[in-house]
Structure 1
Amino acid sequence: ITCGLIFILGVVLPLGLCKGKSYENYKVYQVTPDKDEDLAVLIPWTEKENVDFWDTSSQPRIMVSPEEQANFEEFLQLKNLPYSVVIDNVQITIDRERAEQDARKAARGVSPRHVTEDFDHFWSYTEINTYVRRMATENPQYVTLMNLGETFEGREVLGLRITAPGNDAQRPIIYIDATIHAREWIAPMVAVYLIHELAEHTADHLSVLENVVWIIQPIVNPDGYEFTYAEDGDRFWRKTRTINENSACLGVDANRNYDHYWANGQSAGECTLTYAGTAPFSVAESRIVRDVVLTNVDRMKLYISLHSYGSLFMYPFSSHSNVMPENFRFQHEAGDVFAKGVFSVNQTPYQVGNGAGILGVSSGTSKDWTYSGPGIPLSYTLELPRGGSGGFDPPPSAIEGVVSETFVGLRDIAGFVIEKYYPISANSEAKATPDNAH
């Protein structure tokens, strides 16, 4: 019996014993249209429960259940949309990832190695929280633990505030969050590596510690993240684990739950992957991010939400294809700094642009809200690289390469923030605000 819910006298109850979601014989298709406009015919497929758009770029990758594959292929042929099968059996990809995870953990033996050698597997919620707490305990001059709240299922949401000792009252704030989408395992690894560099190698990064306050939240959606790891879970679970009233389908896409054109043009179906919830900020996960932003809004200059995948660095807006932020040139300039920093390490290319233009329209996203609501001048979604073999995340063996190159990009864009918002001179407290960067 698979996991499910039933209603008895209006009460939601679990249905039987649960086993993990199987993706046996699920396929991933890549659609390669001649023109971007041709993709519009795929929109109805985004509402189907057995069809999962891994990305919505100009050449989207789409996971389809065995039951839908014949219909999907017939549709693509009818619409003359070129396609290829990039993964023939998704479960094999999952099993390979799990096996590599297990092998790397076993190789470390009973006593795990120090974290500086430990970016060879994806970390669990418990591992991440343990590390976050340890960094605050071991580095109290630089690191402060932030207990940000609890999720629907009662898990604590932790973050760290990292900055050099001294008066930081004028330092600009950079807020990095990750894992609002549970299945995006590479995202928290980037956040943890950022913590690792800033907290454990302070002497190497004094400029971005003495002139910036970092707020880093590795897991926005702990309930969903834990469910992707659980034996009775689902590796590709995306949403929160919130119970939806009068529905057997769980969860809200917390990155559609922000108060910027909330639910505009999107399905209200609780069973869809992008269900936006009953109202803006209806789930704890988005409210926690909101509260961090609003508490620090006076000095917050840069917000980045870490996702996967696509190698994209996107500023607003995602809500409308023909609307750009007033300071889009400034945001693009900062994005180029990030992209050049990443490229300098492993020559990984990133595309910089507005969200709707390079990934497609989506409303209620965090970066659109942080820019248009509180007015954070540099607001981004960072889509990290996908797996080299076409999988959703890079294999465990590739984690260190991704996190280390991304760190350089984040360090460099922090330097951009310092240059624009906190220039230092020997006897001056003057702070500059760049043109058109409200």
Structure 2
Amino acid sequence: MRRRIAAAELGWSSCVGTVVMGALGKTVVLLLVAATAVVCTPFVNDLAPGQEWPARNSVRQPNFGESQTEAVQEEFSTDDPTSEITDDAVIIGKAIQPKTDIQRVDYSGAQIWKVSTEKSGSRAVISRLRRRNLISTWGGNQYSIDILVKSDFVRNVTRVFERENIQYEVVILDLQKNINDENPPLDENELGLQDRRGHRMTWKQYHRLEDIHGFLDYLAKTYPSIATVTTIGKSHEGRDLKVIRLSDGKPTNKAVFIDGGIHAREWISPATVTYFINQFAENFDVESDDIKNIDWYFLPVVNPDGYEYTHTVDRLWRKNRKPYLGTRQCTGTDLNRNFG
């Protein structure tokens, strides 16, 4: 019986995934190592400035056009140390109206801070600021929390921390600048690669879905004896889910399935999967029997709609783009939390 082993979603900074084939004479260890991007992707349920930021580990991700008015609902006690300083900011937030057209989310002026939580009560202050929709929390440990401070509210949050004597460090001064620097456009020489080699993949930048799928098709045409590309389905918005199979076709082969790009904003994941596809395809003839005795299945982008959305609208989008209707429209499902 063929056994499939699926490698989990590739990590955000550096991860090592191990795939072990117990039935083989030798143990095959596949190391998937992803280099840290300029703007890392450990973002947990983080949306654009002007939207509600759910609690850590919340599945909910509001609509792109959702206003702060809907998010600011918590009542604070009179001794809340954040109220006096941030009331004006909340009023500003209430004045922001939802956008009916989809525009690229701009993180200009938004900052990333590392906030010490060693002082008693600091976590409560951070929680109140988050619920007032002035910051989002990205994660942390027992000693500190990383937060995103929205551009309009940097002054207010600074005053709160100074008043409460909460220590913090500005890690990223302008988030949008880091996003821009993360993925510079290809120069003319690199754009000419498609004409000379048949594909544009360089692994020097993060490529769009069209380039990734074009690369898979190129391999199938160049190495027809080992490479086969199959469309296994469509996304909600109608994009292909393309899988490439690398195999010498022996009926005794085991099977390994590797996917990437479950979380839309984790661009390093499809980049890593396509890198391994390229290494396997280009060097299949000289690989060991441990590699050749496996049918390799790769799905580089599990979430093509979300992946494209991070390139065109919101760099920090996490989920897919399927809308759900409830008391209000909510777009997107976290595919990594929906396994039966």
Instruction: Give the structure-1-normalised TM-score.
Output: 0.48
| Distance (whole Å) between structure 2 residues aligned to residue 176 and residue 43 of structure 1 | 38
SS in 2 for 1:174: strand
Work out whether 1:84 is the aligned partner of 2:145. no
User: What is the CA distance between 1:68 and its match in structure 2?
Assistant: 4.4
User: What is the CA distance between 1:177 and its match in structure 2?
Assistant: 1.4
Show the counterpart of 1:125: 209
Equivalent residues of 1:153, 1:223 under 8 A apart: yes
Structure whose CA Rg is larger: 2
The 5 A counterparts of 1:181-260 are 181-230=263-312, 233-246=313-326, 247-259=328-340
Equivalent residues of 2:201, 2:212 under 8 A apart: no
| Distance (whole Å) between structure 2 residues aligned to residue 111 and residue 248 of structure 1 | 43
Show the counterpart of 2:42: none
Change in 2 beyond 3 A, CA 1:34/1:15: closer
SS in 2 for 1:158: strand
Change in 2 beyond 3 A, CA 1:240/1:116: closer
User: What is the CA distance between 1:185 and its match in structure 2?
Assistant: 1.2
SS in 2 for 1:175: strand
User: What is the CA distance between 1:121 and its match in structure 2?
Assistant: 1.5
Identity in percent: 27
| Distance (whole Å) between structure 1 residues aligned to residue 334 and residue 130 of structure 2 | 14
| Distance (whole Å) between structure 1 residues aligned to residue 228 and residue 309 of structure 2 | 28
What is the RMSD computed on CA atoms of the aligned residues? 3.5
Change in 2 beyond 3 A, CA 1:119/1:134: same
Show the counterpart of 1:22: 106
Unaligned runs of 5+ in 1: 7-13, 260-438
The 5 A counterparts of 1:93-132 are 93-98=178-183, 100=184, 102=185, 104-112=186-194, 114=197, 118-132=202-216
Equivalent residues of 2:193, 2:200 under 8 A apart: no
The 5 A counterparts of 1:347-386 are none
Change in 2 beyond 3 A, CA 1:174/1:25: same
Equivalent residues of 1:142, 1:165 under 8 A apart: yes
Choose between structure 1 and 2 for higher RCO, CA contacts under 8 A separated by at least 6 residues.
2
Q: Which amino acid aligns with 1:123?
A: H
| Distance (whole Å) between structure 2 residues aligned to residue 15 and residue 116 of structure 1 | 35
Equivalent residues of 2:109, 2:151 under 8 A apart: yes
| Distance (whole Å) between structure 1 residues aligned to residue 66 and residue 147 of structure 2 | 27
Change in 2 beyond 3 A, CA 1:146/1:64: farther
Show the counterpart of 2:221: 137
The 5 A counterparts of 1:386-401 are none
SS in 2 for 1:224: helix
| Distance (whole Å) between structure 2 residues aligned to residue 223 and residue 250 of structure 1 | 12
User: What is the CA distance between 1:200 and its match in structure 2?
Assistant: 1.4
User: What is the CA distance between 1:135 and its match in structure 2?
Assistant: 1.7
Change in 2 beyond 3 A, CA 1:163/1:32: farther
| Distance (whole Å) between structure 1 residues aligned to residue 166 and residue 241 of structure 2 | 43
Equivalent residues of 1:25, 1:91 under 8 A apart: yes
SS in 2 for 1:132: helix
Work out whether 1:154 is the aligned partner of 2:234. no
SS in 2 for 1:187: helix
Q: Which amino acid aligns with 1:237?
A: W
Show the counterpart of 1:385: none
SS in 2 for 1:209: helix
SS in 1 for 2:324: coil
Give the structure with the larger helix fraction: 1
Instruction: Give the structure-2-normalised TM-score.
Output: 0.60
| Distance (whole Å) between structure 2 residues aligned to residue 191 and residue 74 of structure 1 | 45
Show the counterpart of 1:4: 65
Equivalent residues of 1:162, 1:209 under 8 A apart: no
User: What is the CA distance between 1:17 and its match in structure 2?
Assistant: 3.5
| Distance (whole Å) between structure 1 residues aligned to residue 339 and residue 108 of structure 2 | 35
SS in 2 for 1:126: helix
Equivalent residues of 1:178, 1:191 under 8 A apart: yes
SS in 2 for 1:192: helix
| Superimposed CA distance per residue, residues 246-275 of structure 1 (whole angstroms, 9 cap, x where no aligned partner) | 42442122222234xxxxxxxxxxxxxxxx
Report how many aligned residue pairs link the two structures: 243
User: What is the CA distance between 1:77 and its match in structure 2?
Assistant: 6.1
| Distance (whole Å) between structure 1 residues aligned to residue 181 and residue 248 of structure 2 | 42
Equivalent residues of 1:168, 1:213 under 8 A apart: no
